[in-house]
Amino acid sequence: MDALENVLPQRFNNRLITWSKQVDRPLPWRRERDPYRIWLSEILLQQTRADTVVGYYHRFLKAFPTVQDLSDAPIDVVLKMWEGLGYYNRALNLHKTAQIVHTELKGQFPDTYEGLLALPGIGPYTAAAVASFAFGRHHAVVDGNVLRVISRLMGLQDPVDQPAIRQQIQYLANELMGTANAATYNQAIMDFGAIQCIPGNPDCPTCPFASDCVAFLTDAVSSLPIKRKKQPVADRYFVFYIFHKEETVWLMQRGHQDIWPQLFTFPALEVTAIPEKKRPLQLRNQLQAWTGLDLSIRFPHAPELKQLLSHQRIHGYFLPVHLPAKTKVPADWVSVRKGDFSAQALPRILKTYLESYGLPI
């Protein structure tokens, strides 16, 4: 491929490995060879910064030292431990994969790229990372850092989030790795993207590839990598009803689909627009149609809270509703002692509300 003429693999990975010897990020999964620990760290690292992951990694390993421990744990316990990391489907897939490895694969992770790729929650990047770090398999990783490095180095002018261009970059990554040790090379190129070839304005004059890098030589660093237009963000509006009585509040567990899968929230109604504070009757009627409860509603003093997810902006409105004695609540609501949410994983918007405003007395 023409792009490789500028950056011959042998010269590239010699310089890359030399560069990497000067930096050594002290991360706990570094030089780890245990597939369970490597896989766990890679799933935690998807969409999340390494410094945030460190604490979660230690807590998960303490609670679930082996894949069997994770497999045997109730999903609600896993979700509670995941709380705050977002993208909760990762936690569901983590649990599913642990169960498959424990029950169907006799506790052994597959030792091939293809075998790993077949497991829930493991895509091409994670399969390559686990296959190379745990089993020394010769597969180059392509994550966001590697995409950036290669597209700049080669001066790629196509959007890197298009499948065909991703494939081209995977090919280039494999070629660049050449015959280098896969684990060493993969770690080095990811570090290089995270430390040297950073988004925005990297320190190109100190870069070991400055004399070869097409982006640097053509003054195109800040415009690469090219990405397609972002998906528009959709606004969604939720009214969270804080049903309470004496020392009790009620929660509902969400389904598998949609945002916050299997997390707990206050019973919530999704509405099509910002609920108008001047229309208590409308909310009261909606509530009655949904729950069968005929209750008066006080308007909240809390302001609207927002949470930005990957392609959605969630607007949350919190309405305290006092339940009169002997009210029969729907069977799928879960009663919780006020303030004791130690067993239920809550979405960030609820935690923010509780931290800021607390529960009604």
Per CB under 6 A, the list member of 197, 287, 297, 305 interacting with ligand SF4 is 197
DSSP 272: S
Per CB under 6 A, the list member of 3, 153, 268, 287 interacting with ligand SF4 is 153
Alpha carbon distance 361, 25 (integer Å): 48
Residue type, position 200, single letter: G
Q: Which is nearer to ligand SF4, 210 or 343 (CB)?
A: 210
DSSP 312-337: EEEEEEEEEEEPPTTPPPPTTEEEEE
**Alpha-carbon distance values, 91 to 34, 302, 308, 345 (Å):** 20, 31, 19, 11
Q: Which is nearer to ligand SF4, 126 or 196 (CB)?
A: 196
Asked if 196 touches ligand SF4 (CB under 6 A), the answer is yes
- B/e letters for 162-175, b = 16+ CB within 10 Å, e = fewer, are eeebeebbbebbbb
Asked if 4 touches ligand SF4 (CB under 6 A), the answer is no
Per CB under 6 A, the list member of 139, 152, 244, 348 interacting with ligand SF4 is 152
Q: How far is the CB of 161 from ligand SF4 (least distance, A)?
A: 19
Residues in 207-236 at the binding interface with ligand SF4, rule: CB under 6 A: 207, 209-210, 213, 215-216, 221
- Residue 42 is a catalytic residue: yes
Active-site pick, 42, 104, 175, 355: 42
Decide: 243 and 321 in contact? Cβ < 8 Å: yes
Q: How far is the CB of 125 from ligand SF4 (least distance, A)?
A: 20
**Within a 10 A sphere around the Cβ of 19, how many other Cβ atoms?**
18
Q: Which is nearer to ligand SF4, 7 or 122 (CB)?
A: 7
Decide: 25 and 191 in contact? Cβ < 8 Å: yes
Question: Active-site positions?
Answer: 42
Residues that bind ligand SF4 (CB under 6 A): 149, 152-153, 196-197, 202, 204, 207, 209-210, 213, 215-216, 221
